Amino acid sequence: MKYLLVLAALFVFSFSAPAQQKKSDEKPLAPLFTGITLDGNAVDLAKLRGKIVVLNLWFVNCPNCIQEIKLLNQVVDDYKDNKDVVFIGLASNTKPDLEKFLKKNPFKYQIIPNAGQFTLFKYGTPDKNGNYNLGYPTHVVIDKEGRIALQIEGVKGVEAVKTELKKQLDAKETKTK
């Protein structure tokens, strides 16, 4: 069964390393991925260029992840009329576990199941022994050019996401004036 879950995760997610070498003053490109949301929609990060993408990396047994869902839902509500902002939850859990959890804890992000390995290896930090570590929840804001504008762990990240969204949208308005 574990083998099938790993195979499913690899099937659902295709990874790609950023093709460009970044300049020292540039923010890193976000790792590209494709996935299928719980409601069957395909998500391709590369096709979201030109939009601000907010990622939440989480799992259902994470007390801090559960605690912040209500706050994150409010952020989604605040930007529901803004087509330039997309909210995606990369969850480590399986689709059945998430569906059961979300019945009691509605989460307004587009949720992609089985994303644990992707999030760990693409957003985690390797230690001196090569083991990857990632604190949950982790919030990531990707700018319109596909670069990581913010990556922060913990519930305090909700306020940081709000601040970064405002900054990104204010920058857009400044450029159009």
Binned at pLDDT 50, 70 and 90, residue 8 comes out as: very low
What percentage of the chain exceeds 90 in pLDDT?
79
Parse the chain into domains and list their residue ranges. 2-17+25-176
Average pLDDT on 120-133 reads 92
CB 109 within 8 A of CB 88: yes
Q: Which are the contacts of 119, defined by CB distance < 8 A and separation ≥ 6?
A: 57, 90, 92, 134, 138
- Determine the 3-state secondary structure of 48 from DSSP: helix
**Looking at per-residue confidence, does 153 or 9 come out higher?**
153
Distance CA(33)–CA(16), nearest Å, equals 7
Average pLDDT on 69-95 reads 97
On the question of pLDDT at 13 being above 70, the answer is no
Residue in the block written with tokens 């985690």: 124
Binned at pLDDT 50, 70 and 90, residue 82 comes out as: very high
CATH number given to 2-17+25-176: 3.40.30.10
pLDDT tens profile 26-78: 789 999 999 999 999 999 999 999 999 999 999 999 999 999 999 999 999 99
User: Looking at residue 172, what is its pLDDT?
Assistant: 59
CB 28 within 8 A of CB 148: yes
Distance CA(78)–CA(83), nearest Å, equals 12
DSSP state of 27: P
On the question of pLDDT at 24 being above 70, the answer is no
User: Looking at residue 69, what is its pLDDT?
Assistant: 97
Average pLDDT on 97-101 reads 98
3-state helix, strand, coil in the chain (%, to 5): 40, 25, 35
pTM of the model: 0.83
